[in-house]
Amino acid sequence: MKDPFLECFREKPRPEFSRKLYQKLQEQDHTRGSTPHPLRKKRSVQGMAAFTIVFVLTLIILPGVLAGPIRTNLHTLPGLTFCEVDRTPVTTAINPNPLIKKAQVASLQDARRTASFPIDIPSWTPENFVMQNTVNLVGSLDNKEVDRTAVPGKEIYFEPYAVGITWRDSRTPRRIQLWVVKHGIWFEGLPNPSIGRGSYQATDINLCSGALIEGQWNPQTHRWDNSRGGYLVWVAPDLDYYLVASNGRFPTEDLKRMALAMQ
């Protein structure tokens, strides 16, 4: 039974994704070669044996080798633990953020009508930063549906657990986003954001525990880069706040000033 109602949502895979995956499979083929299966198995056994010997020798001769990679420094806020590491975690085949979410944009006014929590915004922002007309709403698929009669004419169809507001610098690509997130929802489970070494600085915002984090990961080098922006995170009784500065160097004092100007 054909059904256009459901089939219309099919999409072609992105050409880039198709090409890269095909290339990856081909590379696997090159790596493995066209060796017949039994011989390949024998080689893999030999390889495993060699690896085991090297690994054991490493343990015996260089015990310090293991100490480096597992050395971490943790900083904890209520419900949130930051982990200082040298490099970004190794990317796995599975998306590292597999929460099924829904998202949409709306006006701040509509977001405020729909969200079950207050969405305050700072009365001060750095010079030349302009607030965007729309905000991001994020909810899990399990979040209850919104009675849309309460938001007449608007397409907000779920109750968000996070709302993001964006300011852009009118002269440079720099951007600031404020995320207001229901406490314990976003990070439920394994809250271990990885940050660069030495980037963490404890602070407080209106008597709430917080953290100033200077820099961001560089996705190309997988190294922490202090010139890429920064974060200010603070935890209120029911809400978590994230000020995220991106696309350029940013004084962390400005983030704190924005946070203190929240109304």
Partner 1 sequence: MRAERLPRRIVWGVAQSETILDWEAVYTEALPRLYNFFRYRVGNDLVAEDLAATTFEKAWRKRNSYRQDLAAFTTWLFAIARNVANDYYRRRRPEFYLDELESDPGNVHLANDPADNPEEIALRSAEFARLSVLLRQLSPRSQELIALKYGAGLANRDIANMIGMTESNVGTLASRIVARLRSEWEVDR
Exposed, middle or buried: residue 157 (CB in 10 Å: 0-12, 13-18, 19+)?
middle
Least CB distance to partner 1 at residue 243 (A): 10
Mask for 239-258, x = binds partner 1 (CB under 8 A): ---x-x-x------------
According to the binding rule CB under 8 A, does residue 138 interact with partner 1? yes
Handedness of CA 69, 70, 72, 74 (dihedral sign): positive
State how far the alpha carbon of 172 is from the alpha carbons of 31, 124, 129, 163, in Å. 45, 19, 10, 24
Identified binder of partner 1 from the candidate list 47, 69, 78, 89, rule CB under 8 A: 89
**Where does this chain touch partner 1 (CB under 8 A) — which range of 17-25, 44-52, 59-67, 252-260?**
17-25
According to the binding rule CB under 8 A, does residue 90 interact with partner 1? no
According to the binding rule CB under 8 A, does residue 152 interact with partner 1? no
In 3D, which of 41, 66, 67, 70 has the Cα closest to residue 55? 66
Instruction: Tell me how many residues contact partner 1 (CB under 8 A).
Output: 76
Identified binder of partner 1 from the candidate list 75, 79, 86, 105, rule CB under 8 A: 105
Identified binder of partner 1 from the candidate list 213, 232, 236, 259, rule CB under 8 A: 213
Identified binder of partner 1 from the candidate list 75, 79, 104, 154, rule CB under 8 A: 104
3-state helix, strand, coil in the chain (%, to 5): 30, 35, 40
**Ramachandran sector of residue 255 (left: φ over 0; alpha: ψ -120 to 50; beta: rest):** alpha
Angle at 247 between CA 169 and CA 95, to 5 degrees: 130
According to the binding rule CB under 8 A, does residue 212 interact with partner 1? no
Identified binder of partner 1 from the candidate list 23, 26, 73, 226, rule CB under 8 A: 26
Residue 60 vs 94, nearer CB to partner 1? 94
Instruction: Report whether 250 contacts 229 (CB < 8 A).
Output: yes
Site for partner 1 in 174-203 (CB under 8 A): 175, 177, 179, 186-195
